[in-house]
Structure 1
């Protein structure tokens, strides 16, 4: 069986090939060879997605290790009252990130129930003689082979890869701006107990993803999260031209009237809809505009989220 990385790259390549052929087909709608080539690519993609689904089913679950260091984490023991606060706040941050990636700002009991059953995030155990906690979550691939928890972990580690406040402000949209409060609670638990942490996860490509949170980094993240103010979302409606399409939850569009270009994030439920669209198409777009401000540095960032297209 091909590696998950190779399968993903093959799918992305074939989708890019289809995107290149579609404008040609639009100019030559009766070209049978072009139609056949596109259908062949689509068939190959379908087969690869089945292989990706099977590979992720075999993987079964994702394991994240939290190695804690500090005065209270000595000699392989750990105060019981601190265990729940740290592991629960971290798993809650993962859960909320997954909800954001899959459903955007939507919520409710039905969505919460679906996510809880799909992710099944739980404390897997503690390493013998060490202060390492293991958290697990089901890989749970969808019918196209994609795993929501894998995407959430990738985005979480991208967030934690930020080296300073500026990078953190840029990366915060990967987990959802309003979800920063859940990461802030997790970091506050570490600050309260004067702990440092090493987070690790073996990605589907057998790459060890790692974040070493020393006290300075934890404080930088915590203080930045606390300084963030988020404006009320403003709803924008206009006709737009599709400039780029991406399977990584972003598209670029141009406002036909003003010529302004927007990079717009979309939730995973839009993925299959967007696959039917083509570069250069005109579409009526509804999106939200949210402004994020750091009250300390006064740095601003604007985030756009797709509502309808």
Structure 2
């Protein structure tokens, strides 16, 4: 049997852009350095990352709830890694087969486009997104309608059962914010140009990408100074979620409704699905213990930013 370890971390394009204060960046940077040390000590032979997408790789023309990449490439948004990832095709295909056999309907992609939500944590933890073999698993966390949270936990458990059979040191990564409600377009509200992108995947021009970066920075500054209509962060909700995770109480999320998550913590709080899947993969093999705890409500990032590392409690 192999071994499992876990690192869940928030991501933010604003970490790569001008705007956040040096104090905030240093605080998060120090926590990420602790996570890097944990990962380096564990020295994984394979990484499995559960991550969302922000209409850079998955679009409404076909929006699966879950998808396993058997090959993948970063799109390079917000200065993140562009180009192929090191995906072990045979293992990723076997993983998809095992998840399907377990009763979880999952799509596969032989050419998965992934954005900063996938590659930023890999770069933060390893320095290079291609440093280790990685299986990317997309969890739709943005494009409504969304499936029930209990299915996310079931997906994670199925993946955890499979990877433990590989006889390797496997690091499970979950990538997502906690409470946050950034200006992400929706089917109901997107203007025509954005609608073409989120439905049909029409590529953004360099000028459009630059305009989006400026808009994101402006939105973050307004939010940080209390001059925004975006839904406020909810540190109390974040703390309650982290208490569930830290306390080995993961089955409690099965009763959470999507409407309740949005109402309490914002539309993009659904990215906690990546954390739920990651911890479910670990919990499939028994109780776990948390090694590192970090949380900061970060209006400058429009996010509740958290990091957890964990190992099985054996």
TM-score w.r.t. the length of structure 1 is 0.27
Larger relative contact order, structure 1 or 2 (CA cutoff 8 Å, min sep 6): 2
Which has the larger Rg? 1
Q: Greater strand share, 1 or 2? A: 1
